[in-house]
Amino acid sequence: MADYLPHTDEDVAAMLAFLGLQDLDELFAAVPAAMRLAGGLDLADGEPEPDVLARMDAFARANRAADLLCFAGAGAYDHEVPPVVRALAGRSEFVTAYTPYQPEVAQGVLQAVFEYQTMVARLSGLPVANASLYDGASALVEAVNLGAGASGRQTVWVSSGVHPHWRGCLRTFSRGSGHQILEIPLAGGVTAWPGDTAVAPGAPGGAAGRPPGAAAGGPPGVVVVAYPNYLGCLEDLAPVRRLADAHGATMVVAADPVAAGILRSAGEWGADVVVGEGQAFGTPLSFGGPYLGLFCCTTAQVRRLPGRLVGETVDLEGRRAYVTTLRAREQDIRREKATSNVCTNQTLMAVTAAVQLGWLGTGGLAEVALRCARGTRYLRDAALAIDGVSPLTGSTPVVRELALRTRPPARTVVDRMAAEGFLAGVALADLVGDDGDGSVDADGAAHGLLVAVTERRTVEEINGYLVALDKAVRQ
């Protein structure tokens, strides 16, 4: 029997005596007897830590994926996380603290989050960032809620270039919020916005010819686009801003925060809200979580901002201090009037991102982005020379990720390359399903392979990948 409980038998006896109780069961007198669990939980008895560690290690060893050289992306990237970032973000004061409800003893977390907010706001080109949401998808859901609230309209036009899982979440949550989600298809890797002449001159319904009908909810209150989109393509955001302006809609950009290191900022493109997945900043791949939802907006929208916000203030003696602010937006005060239900969020990942961005600094972030783009270009040029590999998105410029079409089904390619030691990428069918969606058709889903090259991949690794890819598509 091993646990973390300090109570000796004597302690328990003394405490029961103090309470005038005979035994521990009496503590649960209020629980109707019939309901109580008779024989205890049907779980094995506790095991000592070293045995448990061995078991957990066995799970870990059973994950072959951890040993594969990672060329997968799709929103989760194998970026450098240096020992210094792990050491600092792992300090137990950050790890074992609660939400900073008592600012006098929580300046550490509060200041780190304040710095995080500043960094993320600078990245986005917008003036306000919150203290984190669960992940990119939840940030997008919140952005749509904000946008619909701001515009007063529930119709949401979402580019199919937005990550399929994020669109899935939007659909799921729209069941509660009542938003009308319209997914705008891609053509050649970029969104075919309906009615935007700059996109599809002369065609009222846009290039894809599938205009959202009037039945679908009328003019959009929110327009959502990804930059770059999930296939890695760089879309022109000017038409999106025009669309939003034309309809008085909120423009939401789901931006890749690493690519932002070399791309024009979403704020500059005119975004009202910028969301993103912050995993790339110091958080390991982690089988998908905990990750970090980035969320930025304009000052005008700050009172609709979901989640926590840290602001600077002073203490009674006038010393600089930080505190969570605009608490009225949160649920603990106005309850059903809250802008969102988020309470526990991903603060530790935000602190981690602050440390990682502190480590990268101005030059490092640009360098990481540039190196990703270089690796992607290098791999793309060579891959397209392979017989059996073609581009899935034409010649649209890509930045840190690209979609290839492989002659065999992409899932087969992934399996074959796993045997060679590579995580080849993500098969599009795993993201969009076998039938495809507005981003790719069924053939694209079956043969589309999404490949990401981060700054960690050496030319030897990429060359090895190309050899294995060549083999996998020929087989």
Ligand X SMILES: Cc1ncc(COP(=O)(O)O)c(C=O)c1O
Task: Tell the smallest beta-carbon distance from residue 107 to a copy of itself (Å).
Answer: 18
Task: Tell the smallest beta-carbon distance from residue 454 to a copy of itself (Å).
Answer: 12
- 373 binds, options a copy of itself, ligand X, another protein, none, Cβ within 5 to 8 A by partner type: another protein
Binding status of residue 456 toward a copy of itself by CB under 8 A: yes
Q: Give the footprint of a copy of itself on residues 24-63 (CB under 8 A).
A: 49-50, 53
Q: Which CB sits closer to ligand X, 28 or 98?
A: 98
DSSP secondary structure of 213-253:
PGGGTSS-SEEEEEES-TTSBPPP-HHHHHHHHHHTPEEEE
Position closest to ligand X via CB: 344
Quote the CA–CA distance of 215 and 14 in Å, as a whole number. Answer: 71
Which among 418, 417, 410 has a CA at the least distance from the CA of 434? 410
CA angle in degrees (0–180, nearest 5) for 230-235-241: 115
Which among 135, 132, 137, 136 has a CA at the least distance from the CA of 351? 132
In the stretch 38-57, what mask flags binding to ligand X with x, by CB under 6 A? --------------------
Binding status of residue 96 toward ligand X by CB under 6 A: no
Q: Which CB sits closer to another protein, 26 or 214?
A: 26
How many of the other CB atoms lie within 10 Å of CB of 441?
Answer: 14
Taking CA atoms, 37 is separated from 1, 22, 165, 398, in Å, by 21, 20, 40, 58
Quote the CA–CA distance of 374 and 383 in Å, as a whole number. Answer: 14
In the stretch 298-337, what mask flags binding to ligand X with x, by CB under 6 A? ----------------------------------------
Quote the CA–CA distance of 405 and 422 in Å, as a whole number. Answer: 18
Phi, psi angle pair for 45, to nearest 5°: -65, 160
Task: Tell the smallest beta-carbon distance from residue 135 to a copy of itself (Å).
Answer: 27
Q: Which CB sits closer to another protein, 304 or 457?
A: 457
Q: Bridge-partner residues for 250, per DSSP?
A: 222
Residue 400 contacts residue 258 (beta carbons within 8 Å)? yes
- 108 binds, options another protein, a copy of itself, ligand X, none, Cβ within 5 to 8 A by partner type: another protein
- 129 binds, options another protein, ligand X, a copy of itself, none, Cβ within 5 to 8 A by partner type: another protein
H/E element holding 191? strand 190-191
Q: Which CB sits closer to a copy of itself, 34 or 60?
A: 60
Q: Which CB sits closer to ligand X, 28 or 101?
A: 101
Phi, psi angle pair for 397, to nearest 5°: -65, 140
Q: Which CB sits closer to another protein, 14 or 246?
A: 14
Q: Give the footprint of ligand X on residues 333-352 (CB under 6 A).
A: 343-344
Among 21, 28, 82, 312, binds a copy of itself (CB under 8 A): 82
- 464 binds, options a copy of itself, another protein, ligand X, none, Cβ within 5 to 8 A by partner type: none
Taking CA atoms, 202 is separated from 6, 105, 195, 196, 219, in Å, by 76, 62, 9, 9, 19
Which among 163, 160, 133 has a CA at the least distance from the CA of 145? 133
- 435 binds, options another protein, a copy of itself, ligand X, none, Cβ within 5 to 8 A by partner type: none
CB under 8 A: which stretch of 19-27, 75-83, 245-253, 278-286 binds a copy of itself?
A: 75-83
Which among 457, 470, 467 has a CA at the least distance from the CA of 71? 457
Give the footprint of a copy of itself on this chain (CB under 8 A).
49-50, 53, 80, 82-83, 87, 92, 456
Q: Which stretches of the chain bind ligand X, using CB under 6 A? A: 343-344
